[in-house]
Chain A
Amino acid sequence: MGRTLSQKVWDDHVVKPGEAGQPDLLYIDLQLCHEVTSPQAFDGLRLAGRQVRHPELTLATEDHNTPTADILAPIADPVSRLQVDTLRRNAAEFGVPIHSLGDKDQGVVHIIGPQLGLTQPGMTIVCGDSHTSTHGAFGALAFGIGTSEVEHVLATQTLPQMKPKTMAVTVTGQLPQAVSAKDLILTHIARVGTGGGAGYVAEYRGDTIERLSMDARMTICNMSIEWGARAGMIAPDRTTLEYLKSRPNAPQGEAWDQAVAYWATLASDPDAHFDKEVFIDATELTPFVTWGTNPGQGVGLGETVPFPTSFADPIDRAAAERALAYMDLTPGTKMRDITVDVVFLGSCTNGRIEDLRAAADILRGKKVADQVRMLVVPGSARVRAQAMAEGLDEVFIRAGAEWREAGCSMCLGMNPDTLAPGQRSASTSNRNFEGRQGKGGRTHLVSPTVAAATAVLGHLADPREV
């Protein structure tokens, strides 16, 4: 019987097969590190007298704690500064390359891997960060791990893993106008729930996926973890090769040809068996936003805040009641009538150049509404430079948005960019959990174009309204 993409990548990385009921030992081609989930791992190495086995298969950057203004000044928060300094010291001590604040390759960890060409098809990639699933857009098996596992990979370049189940998510048909990859994945999460993919590696496939750019594919794979799938993958194709070819770490000359020949073998076989299959008709999708406090609590932008009584399952009903209380929303309110205080454009979900272009296209010649603060935070220093070369910074600044330096920024409340208690945001990030963007903050997850339209109109808005 044929094998799926994920099974092929898995099989090619088995160092030692597990005996019955035991995990396989997998080789890890690349580990990415950031300052939050690595300090205790490096400490563990020091305590045990261990080295980083392969610093050349490891890359560190600073993103979560870092400010997105005055980046060359010392970090004001002493606790954040200590964590960033600790990463720098650990990188120096263990010989791990690092892209620090101010470096031309600094940025959100999941933006810089692909951009440097370090993320390639058929690789195993890990990071102490659940959005490592992003790299699956290249046909890599990429998943988030905890700090104990970070230490394990630093020490051994391997990881014991139980074989996951496989799921095919097949998307067919043309995406309607103003509907993006973000709307697609938000819709899917609302349908299957935050636990719908638990235990699975997902493969997104179908003609809709094949037509998507790499940036859009990364948005989809990025949010795999939000429906519980630890990894999401897309088979490499011509789009993947075109993206990779000019990247600094792409293989060159003969090595490129060998790599391409290998990558061509990575598609799921026609007779491959998936443990579960899900189908999505792209033609019926609309702009999609969240109303609640987990990414599965979403509706079409043209719909209304749901009534808790509309949920059959008592647990879902109780969750909806809690979420509406936290979000301060009344059932039956039109989503489009919800006004926001802050619009955040950025993150590993939607901080790439195409996201900035799409938002700039809406904002060009328009103004951000008076009562709205809009932050535009490129995912990396290189995305920022590219956007400036295209004049996008001017578009944002003229519209009245804040043009920031690269980092995780308002995706999570670890740096100076946070919501104040009670503030409401439209955010292109990935999580609307209670307090995620700052204690008491209320988050609506949206696409980049919905974010831009919302900034202009001051309420959740369809890009076609602007």
Chain B
Amino acid sequence: MEKFTTHTGVAVPLRRSNVDTDQIIPAVYLKRVTRTGFEDGLFSAWRNDPTFVLNQKPYESGSILVAGPDFGTGSSREHAVWALMDYGFRVVISPRFGDIFRSNAGKAGLVTAVLPERAVEELWSALDSQVGITLSVDLATTSITAGDRVYQFSIEEYTRYRLLNGLDDISVTLQAEAEIRAYEARRPAFKPTTLPVRV
């Protein structure tokens, strides 16, 4: 995973709550077996509407999404994170995220920054009055700078550490091979298996 330290980019106001992962990428795009190229599916139903924010300049080149509460609820599809990243988003700001989406984002390198509802509304107003302004997101100091305003955001500490260091979970876990083996040795025999256990 690529390291994330700071990012400055065009912020896109998405004035909606409960943006579920079916809206972020509809199921029909989930039939692919590849891990890239999902940008065409991002908000695809909404992008049919010419007035949708991503169809407006300069938002089509946005990289920071400022959304209402309960962003990424619903289906566990990691494709939602891939679609946002393939489109060019590096950060999503919301007062609250769906748990699985937040976890998936942390694995793929997308920053999910939690700001209070009032701060999100302030950002929306700022984006309305100064269309196309950029925001700067600093993961080391967990701060978002919008002009002369600075907001502190929250993100799970371990996710922040992994993003800052670009750490891949599997290689970290495999360092615990001895502990995994020890656990397997003491696992109860009555636990079910889907196959006859290999000898």
Task: Please report A residues at the B interface, Cβ cutoff 8 Å.
Answer: 15-16, 18, 21-23, 25, 27, 29-30, 36-37, 39-40, 43, 48, 50, 55-59, 64-65, 77, 79-80, 82-83, 86, 95, 97, 117-118, 120, 123, 128-130, 132, 143-149, 151-152, 155-158, 160, 162, 193-195, 198-199, 225-226, 228, 230, 249-251, 255-256, 258-259, 262, 293-294, 296, 315-316, 318-319, 322, 412-414, 431, 433-436, 439
Contacts and interface: CB of A to CB of B under 8 A. Distances in A.
A21 B157 CA distance: 7
B99 A97 contact: no
Contact of B34 (A16, A40, A319): A40
Contacts of A43: 33, 35
A302 B187 CA distance: 52
Contact of B69 (A77, A147, A315): A315
B23 A433 contact: yes
Interface of B: 15-18, 20, 22-23, 26-28, 30-35, 45, 68-70, 73-79, 81, 96-100, 103-104, 107-108, 117, 156-158, 169-170, 172-174, 176, 179-180, 183-184, 187-198
Given A65-B31, A413-B28, A195 B96 contact: yes
Nearest to A144: B76
11 contacts: A29-B191, A36-B31, A65-B31, A97-B194, A144-B76, A147-B78, A152-B169, A160-B158, A256-B190, A319-B18, A413-B27
Contacts of A27: 180, 183-184, 187
B33 A433 contact: no
Contacts of A435: 22-23, 26, 45
Contact of A37 (B77, B169, B170, B174): B77
B192 A249 contact: yes
A151 B171 CA distance: 12
A43 B158 CA distance: 26
A129 B189 CA distance: 28
A120 B192 contact: yes
Residue in B35, B74, B77 with the greatest tally of chain A CB atoms within 10 Å? B74
8 smallest CB-CB distances across A and B, nearest first, come from: A146-B104, A146-B78, A148-B107, A39-B33, A144-B76, A56-B195, A255-B190, A130-B76
Contact of A156 (B81, B99, B174, B192): B174
A111 to B, nearest CB: 16
A25 B26 contact: no
B33 A40 contact: yes
Contacts of A258: 188-190
Contact of A79 (B17, B32, B192): B32
Contact of B74 (A162, A319, A433): A433
B195 A431 contact: no
Contacts of B97: 198
Nearest to A413: B27
Given A56-B198, A57-B193, A25 B179 contact: yes
A413 B26 contact: yes
B75 A198 contact: no
Contact of B18 (A130, A147, A251, A294): A294
Contacts of B104: 146-149
Nearest to A31: B194
Residue in B100, B104, B194 with the greatest tally of chain A CB atoms within 10 Å? B194
A452 B160 CA distance: 49
Contacts of B180: 15, 25, 27, 156-158
Contacts of B156: 162
Contacts of B99: 198-199, 228, 230
A434 B27 CA distance: 11
Contacts of B174: 155-156
Contact of A57 (B18, B76, B194): B194
Given A40-B34, A59-B194, A147-B78, A412 B98 contact: no
A86 B31 CA distance: 11
B78 A37 contact: yes
A160 B176 CA distance: 11
Contact of B170 (A48, A117, A193, A255): A48
Contact of A152 (B26, B77, B173): B173
B16 A128 contact: no
Given A228-B98, A319-B18, A129 B76 contact: yes
Nearest to A143: B100
A37 B34 CA distance: 11
A57 B15 CA distance: 43
A64 to B, nearest CB: 8
